[in-house]
Amino acid sequence: MDKAPESLVGEMSIMDRSGHKQLTWNMDKLEEIAAAKETFDTLVKQGYSAFGSKTKTEAKHTVKEFDPTMEEVVMVPRTVGG
């Protein structure tokens, strides 16, 4: 894990049936990072895919592990075709 610059905020968008939810964390607050990581891990276990980037302007890429230095993470539920 890279050390985050002070006072940056990460944002996780969680897509679900209600639309989406937002979760944010300050990159210099360990308890907020831990809560975001727990949410990330829980959603991945439920079948969500994660896409993220270090900055909001970068293209998103598939993420397999939570990285608290990412500015943006999007969690997408598994889709079922018909």
pLDDT digits (tens, 9 = 90+) for 14-67: 998 888 899 999 999 999 999 999 999 999 999 999 999 999 899 999 999 999
Number of domains in the chain: 1
Distance CA 45, CA 29 (A): 25
- pTM attached to this predicted model: 0.85
Q: Which of 42, 48, 46, 75 is nearest to 60 (CA)?
A: 75
Amino acid of residue 56: K
* End-to-end Cα distance, the chain: 40
The domain that holds 59 is classified in CATH as 3.10.20
| Confidence (pLDDT) at 19 | 87
Residue 51 is assigned to a structural domain of this protein: yes
| Confidence (pLDDT) at 18 | 84
| Confidence (pLDDT) at 24 | 97
Contacts of 53 (CB under 8 A, 6+ apart): 59, 60, 61, 70, 71, 72
